[in-house]
A and B are shown apart, each in its own frame.
Chain A
Amino acid sequence: MYFNNINEPNTYDAIVVGSGISGGWAAKELCEKGMKTLVLERGHDFKHVTDYKTATMAPWEFPHLKRATRQMRREQSVQKRTGYTVTEAHGYLFVKDTEHPYIEHKRFDWMRGYHTGGRSILWGKQSYRLSPMDFEANAKEGIGTPWPINYDEIAPWYSYVERFAGISGSKEGLPQLPDGDFQPPMDLNIVEKDVKKAVESKWSGRKMIIGRAAHLTAPTEEQTSLGRSQCQYRNLCMRGCPFGAYFSSQAATLPAAARTGNMTLQTHAIVHSIIIDDDKGRAKGVRVIDEITGQTTEYFAKVIFLCASALPSTAILMSSTSKRYANGMDESGSLGRYLMDHHLGVGANGVFETHLDKTTYGRRPNGVYVPRYRNLHEPATDGYLRGYGYQGGASRQGWSRDIEGFGVDFKKQYTSFGAWEMGLGGFGECLPYYENKVELSKTRKDRWGLPLLEFDAEFKDNEKKMRIDMMNDAAEMLEAAGAKNITTNNSTPSIGLGIHEMGTARMGTSPKNSVLNKWNQVWGTPNVFCTDGAFMTSAGCQNPSLTYMAFTARAADYAVSEIKKGNL
Chain B
Amino acid sequence: MAGVGLLLPNAVLARTGEMLEGTPPKRRFFNGTEKRIVAGFAECVVPRTDTPGAADAGVPGWVEVLVEDCYDFDEQIYFREGLMEIDQAARDRFGKRFAGLTYDQQVLLLTEIERSDIALSKADPNAQPSFVRAFKDLVKFVYVSTERGANEAFSYVAIPGRFDGAATVKPDTKVEAPTF
Q: For B158, what are the chain A residues with a Cβ–Cβ distance below 8 Å?
A: 56, 58, 234
The residue in chain B whose Cβ has the minimal distance to the Cβ of A62 is B145
CA of A16 to CA of B167, assembled, Å: 47
**Contact of A92 with B by CB under 8 A:** no
**Contact of A2 with B by CB under 8 A:** no
Are B167 and A360 interface neighbours, CB within 8 A?
Answer: yes
Q: How large is the interface on B (under 10, 10 to 19, 20 to 34, 35 or more residues)?
A: 35 or more
Q: For A89, what are the chain B residues with a Cβ–Cβ distance below 8 Å?
A: 180
Binds A, one of B9-17, B31-39, B78-86, B108-116: B108-116
A230 to chain B, nearest CB (A): 9
Q: Indicate with 1 or 0, residue by residue over A370-409, a CB within 8 angstroms of chain B CB atoms.
A: 0000000000000000000000000010111000111110
Are B107 and A233 interface neighbours, CB within 8 A?
Answer: no
Q: Indicate with 1 or 0, residue by residue over B151-179, a CB within 8 angstroms of chain A CB atoms.
A: 00110101111111111110001111111
Q: For B159, what are the chain A residues with a Cβ–Cβ distance below 8 Å?
A: 232, 234
Q: For A162, what are the chain B residues with a Cβ–Cβ distance below 8 Å?
A: none
Are B114 and A70 interface neighbours, CB within 8 A?
Answer: no
Binds B, one of A248-256, A331-339, A361-369, A512-520: A361-369
Q: For A60, what are the chain B residues with a Cβ–Cβ distance below 8 Å?
A: 22, 145-147, 150
- Among B70, B150, B161, residue most surrounded by chain A Cβ atoms (within 10 Å): B70
B131 to chain A, nearest CB (A): 14
A292 to chain B, nearest CB (A): 29
Q: For B167, what are the chain A residues with a Cβ–Cβ distance below 8 Å?
A: 358-361
Are A415 and B163 interface neighbours, CB within 8 A?
Answer: no
CA of A407 to CA of B2, assembled, Å: 11
**Contact of A207 with B by CB under 8 A:** no
Q: How large is the interface on A (under 10, 10 to 19, 20 to 34, 35 or more residues)?
A: 35 or more
The residue in chain B whose Cβ has the minimal distance to the Cβ of A87 is B180
Are B168 and A415 interface neighbours, CB within 8 A?
Answer: no
Q: Assuming A70-B70, A358-B166, is B178 touching A236 (CB within 8 A)?
A: no
Q: For A65, what are the chain B residues with a Cβ–Cβ distance below 8 Å?
A: 62, 66, 141-142, 145-146
The residue in chain B whose Cβ has the minimal distance to the Cβ of A356 is B169
CA of A396 to CA of B155, assembled, Å: 14
Q: Indicate with 1 or 0, residue by residue over B67-95, a CB within 8 angstroms of chain A CB atoms.
A: 00111100000000000000000000000
Binds B, one of A186-194, A344-352, A434-442, A534-542: A186-194
Q: Assuming A234-B159, A236-B179, A414-B46, is B169 touching A359 (CB within 8 A)?
A: yes
CA of A75 to CA of B152, assembled, Å: 36
Q: Indicate with 1 or 0, residue by residue over B123-147, a CB within 8 angstroms of chain A CB atoms.
A: 0000000000000100011101111
Are A363 and B179 interface neighbours, CB within 8 A?
Answer: yes
**Contact of B44 with A by CB under 8 A:** yes
Are B160 and A233 interface neighbours, CB within 8 A?
Answer: yes
Q: Indicate with 1 or 0, residue by residue over A498-524, a CB within 8 angstroms of chain B CB atoms.
A: 000000000000000000000000000
**Contact of A81 with B by CB under 8 A:** no
Are A399 and B177 interface neighbours, CB within 8 A?
Answer: yes
CA of A362 to CA of B70, assembled, Å: 30
Q: For A236, what are the chain B residues with a Cβ–Cβ distance below 8 Å?
A: 179-180
The residue in chain A whose Cβ has the minimal distance to the Cβ of B104 is A407
**Contact of B47 with A by CB under 8 A:** yes
Are B160 and A363 interface neighbours, CB within 8 A?
Answer: yes
**Contact of A484 with B by CB under 8 A:** no
A303 to chain B, nearest CB (A): 41
**Contact of B45 with A by CB under 8 A:** yes
Are A234 and B140 interface neighbours, CB within 8 A?
Answer: no
CA of A65 to CA of B160, assembled, Å: 21
The residue in chain B whose Cβ has the minimal distance to the Cβ of A243 is B159
CA of A322 to CA of B107, assembled, Å: 75
The residue in chain B whose Cβ has the minimal distance to the Cβ of A412 is B49
Are B114 and A406 interface neighbours, CB within 8 A?
Answer: yes
CA of A56 to CA of B159, assembled, Å: 9
Q: List 23 A-B contacts (CB under 8 A).
A: A59-B150, A60-B150, A64-B66, A65-B142, A69-B70, A70-B69, A187-B163, A192-B165, A232-B160, A233-B161, A356-B169, A358-B168, A361-B160, A361-B164, A363-B176, A363-B180, A398-B176, A400-B140, A405-B111, A406-B44, A406-B110, A411-B49, A414-B46
Which 10 pairs between the two chains have the least Cβ-Cβ distance?
A: A189-B165, A362-B163, A362-B160, A361-B167, A407-B107, A59-B145, A361-B164, A190-B166, A65-B145, A398-B175
Q: A186-B163, A405-B114 are in contact. List 14 more A-B contacts (CB 8 A).
A: A58-B156, A65-B142, A65-B145, A70-B72, A192-B165, A234-B158, A234-B159, A236-B180, A360-B165, A361-B163, A361-B164, A364-B165, A408-B47, A411-B46
Could you tell me which A residues sit within 8 Å of B by CB distance?
56, 58-60, 63-70, 73, 89, 186-190, 192-193, 232-236, 355-364, 396, 398-400, 404-408, 410-411, 414-417
